[in-house]
Amino acid sequence: YYNAAYKLSYSGVLLANTMTLAIFPYLTKHWLGDKSKVFGMFRKLFKMLVILSMAFSLTAAILSDNIIMLVFGSQFKESIILFRLLVFALPPLFLMHLTNRTLDAVGEQRFKANTMIVGVIINVVLNFLLIYKFKAVGASIATVVTSIFLVVVHAIYLRRRMGFSSVGVSFIKIPVCLIGLSAVILSLKEFNWFMAAFTGLTAYCVLLLLLKVLKIEDILFLIRKTA
C-alpha cells in the first residue's frame, strides 16, 4: 500500500525536475557575473514551485479516494490515507529540486551532500521511531518531515550565501487562493470529481492573477527560460 501511494504521489516531482534542470545553465552562467540575475531567477521559480506544488498537493489530498480508486482499484483502499499524507511532501520536494540545482550552480556541492547525509540519518531515525507504532503512516510522516527539514536548511543557507532578504512569496494571498481552490473542489466533488478538479484549478489560477500573486510577464519569463 505504501509503495502504491509513494509512486503515485511522487509522479508530480518530474515537473519540478524538468523546470529546475532547464534553468541550471542560466544559474551557473550568471553566478560568475551578475549574481542579481541568479537571485531573480531563484525568486521567480521558488514562487512558481510553491504555487504549483501546493495546488497539486491540496487537489490530490481532497480527491485522494477518487484518484486511488481510479489508478489502483478498490483493493488499494488502504493507500488512500498514505497518499493523502505523502502528497504534502511535494511542496518541500519541489523546492528541494530548486535549492539543489542552485547549490550546484554556486559551487556548494559539498554542503548539499552533507545535508543529504543528515537527511538520510533523520529519515532512518524517524522511521525507526514511527513505523513500530504507526506502520506505513509513520513512514509517510517521516518522509514529509525529512523533506521539510532539508528544504528549510537549504533555503537558510542560500539566503546567507546569495544575500537576499526574502523570496517574495505571499503567505496571505496564496492561502486565500488555496481556500478558493478547496471550496470549489469540495462543492463539486460529489457531482463529478474530474470537473471539480478542473474548475477548482481554473478558479485558483484566476485568483492568483486577480490578487497579483502571479503576473503574466513572470509566467512568460519562466516559459522562455525553461522551454
For residue 157, how far is the Cα from the chain centroid? 19
* CA separation for the pair 48, 222 (Å, rounded): 9
Q: What is the mean pLDDT of residues 27-53?
A: 89
pLDDT at 117: 97
State the residue range of the domain holding 15.
2-165
Does 118 fall in a domain?
Answer: yes
Does 212 fall in a domain?
Answer: no
Does 76 fall in a domain?
Answer: yes
* CA separation for the pair 203, 196 (Å, rounded): 10
Does 21 fall in a domain?
Answer: yes
Say whether pLDDT at 49 is over 90: yes
Q: pTM of the full predicted structure?
A: 0.90
Burial category of 133 from C-beta neighbours within 10 Å (exposed 0-12, middle 13-18, buried 19 and up): exposed
Q: What is the mean pLDDT of residues 11-26?
A: 90
Q: 73 falls in which pLDDT band (50, 70, 90)?
A: confident
Does 213 fall in a domain?
Answer: no
Please report, as a single letter, which amino acid is at residue 38.
Answer: V
Rounded to the nearest 10 degrees, the angle between the axes of helix 193-210 and helix 35-62 is 150
pLDDT at 105: 92
Residue 192 cell numbers, joined: 463529478
* CA separation for the pair 97, 18 (Å, rounded): 9
The CA distances from residue 180 to 19, 164, 212, 221, in Å, are 26, 31, 15, 26
Does 180 fall in a domain?
Answer: no
Closest CA to 91 of 121, 123, 47, 130: 47
* Percentage of residues of the chain with pLDDT beyond 70: 97
Residue 160 cell numbers, joined: 546567507
* CA separation for the pair 191, 108 (Å, rounded): 50
Question: What does DSSP assign to residue 72?
Answer: T
Does 179 fall in a domain?
Answer: no
Does 72 fall in a domain?
Answer: yes
pLDDT at 165: 67
pLDDT tens digits, one per residue of 77-94: 888 898 998 899 999 999
Q: What is the mean pLDDT of residues 31-36?
A: 84
Contact 83, 132 (CB under 8 A): no
Helix ranges, the chain (H): 2-9, 13-31, 35-62, 64-71, 79-86, 90-105, 109-134, 136-162, 173-188, 193-210, 216-226
Q: Structural domain tally of the chain?
A: 1
Say whether pLDDT at 68 is over 80: yes
| Residue of higher predicted confidence among 32 and 117 | 117
